[in-house]
Amino acid sequence: MSIRYSTDVVISAEQFVAVLNASTLGERRPVDDLARIQTMLANADLIVTAWDGEKLVGVARTITDWCYAAYLSDLAVDQTYQKQGIGRQLIEATREKLGDQCSLVLLAAPAAADYYAKVGFEWIERGWQIKRTH
């Protein structure tokens, strides 16, 4: 299987939702609100996608200022494609586009918390959040 990575393919809200659901990240995203999903995509600064032929199998969605900090808001890989290095490649492609001056931070999904140390992230204990109301 040859996975192709891209930063210039525009994906639809429906394609994004399909990957979110196939990765289990859909459990924590507003997948029933396509308008909101479309806004999430439209306002992202960087989207890296992974493709098996014409099938979207992975997405890394990032918000950034391009010079200091970036928030990896979504890293989703279809469960049937996990453990093949696709997530690692999505992160690497994201870091490559961001450059060396930009730190990459994220909030880990509970099931994926142990994964991030294996792909180069350093755990930080200081962080604060104001949760959304809906």
SS3 (DSSP) at 8:
coil
The whole-angstrom separation of Cα 53 and Cα 21 is 19
Output phi, psi for 128, to 5 deg.
Answer: -135, 155
pLDDT at position 133: 78
| Domain chopping of the chain, boundaries | 3-118
pLDDT at position 31: 96
For the entire predicted model, the pTM comes to: 0.92
> What is the rounded radius of gyration, in angstroms, for the C-alpha atoms of the chain?
14
pLDDT at position 117: 84
Q: pLDDT of 35-91, one tens digit each?
A: 999 999 999 999 999 999 999 999 999 999 999 999 999 999 999 999 999 999 999
- The superfamily (CATH) of domain 3-118 is Gcn5-related N-acetyltransferase (GNAT) (3.40.630.30)
pLDDT for residue 109 is more than 80: no
